[in-house]
Chain A
Amino acid sequence: MELPNPAPRPEGEVRELERIWATPRGWRLLTAVNNTVIGLLYIGVAFLFFLMAGVLAMLMRTQLAVGDNRLIGQDLYNQMFTVHGTTMMFLFAVPAVEALGVMLLPQMLAARDLPFPRLSAFAIWAYVVGGLVFFSTIFYDLAPKGGWFMYPPLTLTEYSPGDNADFWLLGIGFIEISAIAGAIEIVVGTLRTRPPGMSLAKMPIFAWTMLIFASMIMFAFPAVILATMMLEIERAFGWPFFSAARGGDPLLWQHLFWFFGHPEVYIIFLPAAGLVSMIVPTMARTPLVGYHLIVVALIGTGFFSFGLWVHHMFTTGIPAMSLAFFSAASMAVAVPSGIQVFAWIATIAAGRQRFRMTTASLFVLGFLFIFTVGGLTGVMVAMVPFDYQVHDTYFVVAHFHYVLIGGFVFPLFAAYYYWIPLFSRRPLSERLGRWVFWLMFIGFNITFLPMHLTGLKGMPRRVWTYPEDIGWNMLNAISTVGTYVLAAGILIFLIDLIAKFRFGNAEIENPWGAGTLEWLPNDVYSTRSIPHITGREPLWDRPSLPQEVRDGHHYLPNAPTGGRETIVTSPIHAQPQYVIQMPGPGWPPFLAAVFTAACFLLLTVKMVTIAIICGALAIAFVLVWAWGLDPGPSKGTIDIARGIRLPTYMTGPTSHSWWAMVVLMIVAASLYFAYVFSYLFLWLVSPEVWAPTGSPAPPPGLWPVSAAALMLAGSSTIWLISRRLEKLAASPVAMAAALLLSLALLIGALALELSGHLMTGLRPGDNAYGAMVYLGAVLFAQLAFALTILGLFTLARYLTGKLDGARRVTFDNYMLLYHYAVAQSLLGLALVHGFPRLIG
């Protein structure tokens, strides 16, 4: 292969890179956005949540050690399992995966950073602040008690008065925000910032899993976002989505929650499998067997996991045939997992040298064992009749801890041992590592293996104590002992970590002799030059690569724009397309996150005025931050290698901001899809409250038709501005008028829609029909609100000369969101006005 930059590089380039990518010091560390810094914060906090939720687990196990125990009261126990489950699932597992993505993806893809560093920083800080507040509610008797899936009607105000349940909704709100932000980052990152030559067929498996992880978030989280919105609205304002007496249905919550909740399990598991697929080949010193099969298995699992949600509802009285449809998918999803397990075993067997038994390998093997057991009991509970038997018993608790701890915690520990040399000068102790592993492995099995039996003996989950003479004592005592053994293992890990971890790069560059790019010589700016990729294990294929990369013989060995930048490549074949200029450290993302957190919190405790002020401040800081983006084409084109010149600015469908917007629109669309599903679902359940017979008929056809006309006029205005942006740049009055007109049209349509329904006498609190109708308007209003801010922002950029025919990213975003809002609202009009007429 010919080197992209064969000539020797001039002096001083590395120093320049170091200066540009330097980590801020002192207090300003809070402003850092570089993935190595915030990624570390992210994973550190996620691990903290694991420890804290683990302590709760130990307390619960202590309480259950003997029958008729009075150590922890019932109410506190209820709070504990709820906080334990919620924290583990939402504040530990999902964020830990995202953290790994933020930390490892840029290194694995040899990109200088992910494309939206400040977005990551924002997401992480919102999570840190929001998560800590959520967890602390357990200390003030304010924690939710409804279990991690918070089923109504138990969680409605009638049965859960006080703010406890609202804190759950708050905590979840944060995770939703940061998960979506992370998904945008990861989708665009994996698809667009791969090194030149790394086509899809050469992408590391971990990157595949992260891509699938992020795509799954795009489709799964919106369902729970909608559900939490509805529950909060019902709790605060009494719109009866889930109250059966007024046409709502608690089962709607279960559908929405599990449409998210089951994929959630795979959202956690797939990246863990990705970690394993990276570690196994290194330890076996041979390429992964069945790369294509594994990619297929991952995609298949990702898809099938969406067809399973009803298996959590086998006992809710759904027709047998529906159950069968979902039972089929529950079985089908086992096949791809099996494929992966065999591929790993084959890789271990294929190595010509012996498989190296490092601590990471031990955790991988432990994972294989535990996860397989969890998979087997999973197939058992996927069988409807068996599930009837063990539903809501300790059998299920045992099953999902086998899957979650085996399938996620063990791979995560493997990853800690494996990748720590990238971030710490000293690795963890391999000798202590064995202790950690064996204590955890044995402790885990002592804790959870007996629980299968406890469950079969009939002990229900979520009970704070049990009668002493019922025959569950022995098994429970064993489980509790196991928990302490497990905890001892984690404690040793912690001590070792504190003793060894020192920020910086390891002395030995590639301690395991791995083949993937994260083991190239690394610094804050990632690799000195971005390598040209020709195979799946570049470091094995080309032993001289590290030296070449260090000497700057590959792409972009310097910082030609004088700021942070990385190469953007095409999504399929990874051909270089342009160089993206990225923002550096700054206060706005941090402050925006803090004020977002404050706003939500204050809303939860009903301090509305200050909450609104904080919300406004949060938006203000987001705007300050966005103001610095969209640099425009001023830096012209630059050389990234001999004979390859790339632009430093891009607009339109190839640009990363366009992609981010499309991801956001997909998220919004799946949320809307969940809304349409809910509307039809509640109609199926309670046709008697639906218009035109059970409720006032919708307003005359002229209302929706006029609203639609206004929106179409708005879209046309936007379309015209887009075509004429060049010319309009010369006439501020026309441009301002056109932008304001587009906003006025949209808001006019919203006002028409709302007043039409108000006029008929329908109120959202009347019944489920009214609630759904007004919820549609709420979703419309949300978009209109976002568009108002974005539109005025666009106008401001234009008036200050930061927007013109060439520099138009802000306008493009406004345009995309606008058209999307119109499309969504037109569909909404058709549903809300058309459907009652159809059935009437």
Chain B
Amino acid sequence: MKEPAKEAPTVSAILFLLAGPILWAGHLLLVYGVQSVTCVVGSGSVAPSALIRTLVVLVTLGAILLLCLALFFPGRLAHMLRYQTPDRDNHVFSVRVERLLILLSLPAVIWSGAAAFLLDACGLSR
């Protein structure tokens, strides 16, 4: 082994590998936050309902778009985050983990976003 080497910053590694779940978490935070705040502030009038629906759909579409970008262009993302893995082993590992995690996150995002079409924005279910 050579000199005690420098490697990519750990934060970059975290952001790259966990891109999918991080986007998922951001999405959940946004839709849940927007929906519950708007429901309380607008207290059940009709306008917030439409507003919430639109916002949830928009946020969800945005999240899906970002997830797809990260899914199809991991190289770009890695470059943006300054994350390099010089050896093959770790390269394969990183890209695979990143992609699979996105594949797990995508359905979760779509699923919760779909609620916008199925359910009343602020009403109780019973």
Contacts and interface: CB of A to CB of B under 8 A. Distances in A.
> Max chain A CB contacts within 10 Å: which of B31, B96, B115?
B115
B26 to A, nearest CB: 11
B123 A320 contact: yes
A326 B31 CA distance: 11
Contact of B112 (A199, A329, A384): A329
Contacts of B4: 570, 575-578, 646
Contact of B107 (A197, A332, A570): A332
A840 interface: no
B111 A684 contact: no
Interface stretch (B5-13, B61-69, B72-80): B5-13
Given A321-B121, A644-B1, 13 more contacts: A197-B1, A307-B25, A319-B121, A321-B56, A321-B116, A321-B119, A322-B36, A325-B35, A328-B115, A571-B7, A573-B85, A575-B1, A575-B4
B101 interface: yes
A324 B90 contact: no
A505 B98 CA distance: 41
Interface string A132-159: 0000000000000000000000000000
A299 B17 CA distance: 10
B89 A199 contact: yes
B36 A684 contact: yes
A322 B13 contact: no
Interface in A319-339: 319-326, 328-329, 331-332, 335-336
Contacts of B40: 684-685
Contacts of A304: 21, 24, 104, 108
Given A196-B1, A292-B100, A321-B121, A332 B108 contact: yes
Interface string A75-88: 00000000000000
A388 interface: yes
Interface in B81-106: 85, 87, 89-90, 92-94, 96-97, 100-101, 104-105
A573 B90 contact: yes
A238 B5 CA distance: 56
Contacts of B97: 292, 295-296, 299
A831 interface: no
Contact of B32 (A199, A322, A336, A573): A322
B40 to A, nearest CB: 5
Contacts of A318: 124
Nearest to B12: A572
Interface in B20-41: 21, 24-25, 28, 31-32, 35-37, 39-41
A64 to B, nearest CB: 31
B13 A299 contact: no
Given A317-B124, A320-B124, A299 B8 contact: no
A323 B125 contact: yes
Given A296-B101, A322-B32, A570-B7, A332 B121 contact: no
Contacts of A191: 10
A329 B126 CA distance: 21
A575 B7 contact: yes
A322 B35 contact: yes
A696 interface: no
B39 to A, nearest CB: 6
A357 interface: no
A498 to B, nearest CB: 44
Nearest to B120: A320
Given A200-B93, A303-B25, A572-B8, A328 B108 contact: yes
A299 B101 CA distance: 8
B18 interface: yes
A644 B52 CA distance: 61
A321 B115 contact: yes
A295 B10 CA distance: 18
Interface string B38-49: 011100000000
Contacts of B7: 570-573, 575
Given A299-B18, A325-B32, A292 B93 contact: yes
B9 to A, nearest CB: 9
A319 B36 contact: yes
B93 A324 contact: no
A201 interface: yes
Contact of A329 (B13, B28, B56): B28
A321 B120 contact: yes
Contacts of B89: 199, 201-202
Contacts of B36: 319, 322, 684
Contacts of A202: 89
A329 B94 CA distance: 25
A293 interface: yes
B115 A325 contact: yes
A572 B124 contact: no
Contacts of B120: 319-321
B57 interface: no
A279 B104 CA distance: 26
Interface of B: 1, 4-5, 7-8, 10, 13, 17-18, 21, 24-25, 28, 31-32, 35-37, 39-41, 52, 56, 85, 87, 89-90, 92-94, 96-97, 100-101, 104-105, 107-108, 111-112, 114-116, 118-126
11 contacts: A200-B13, A292-B96, A295-B97, A299-B21, A307-B28, A320-B123, A321-B56, A324-B112, A325-B112, A329-B108, A576-B4
> Max chain B CB contacts within 10 Å: which of A293, A307, A570, A578?
A307
Nearest to B121: A321
Contacts of B32: 322, 325
A384 B4 CA distance: 55
Contacts of B104: 296, 300, 304, 332, 335-336
B35 A321 contact: yes
A199 B90 contact: yes
A306 interface: yes
Contacts of A197: 1
Contact of B10 (A201, A303, A320, A572): A572
Nearest to A569: B4
A319 B124 contact: yes
Interface string A300-317: 100110110000000001
B100 to A, nearest CB: 4
Interface string A574-608: 01111000000000000000000000000000000
Nearest to B25: A303
A325 B108 CA distance: 9
Given A307-B24, A319-B36, A388-B126, A572 B108 contact: no
Contacts of B8: 572
A191 B100 CA distance: 22
B121 A296 contact: no
A43 to B, nearest CB: 30
A570 B5 contact: yes
A325 B35 CA distance: 10
A571 B93 CA distance: 15
Contacts of A320: 119-120, 123-125
Contacts of A296: 96-97, 100-101, 104
Interface string A182-218: 0000000001000011011110000000000000000
B7 to A, nearest CB: 5
Contacts of B114: 328
Interface string A620-656: 0000000000000000000000001010000000000
A329 B25 CA distance: 10
A324 to B, nearest CB: 4
> Max chain A CB contacts within 10 Å: which of B36, B122, B123?
B36
A823 B119 CA distance: 40
B28 A575 contact: no
Nearest to A644: B1
Given A320-B119, A324-B112, A332-B107, A303 B90 contact: no
Contacts of B1: 196-197, 532, 575-576, 644
A575 B40 CA distance: 53
Nearest to B44: A319
A313 to B, nearest CB: 12
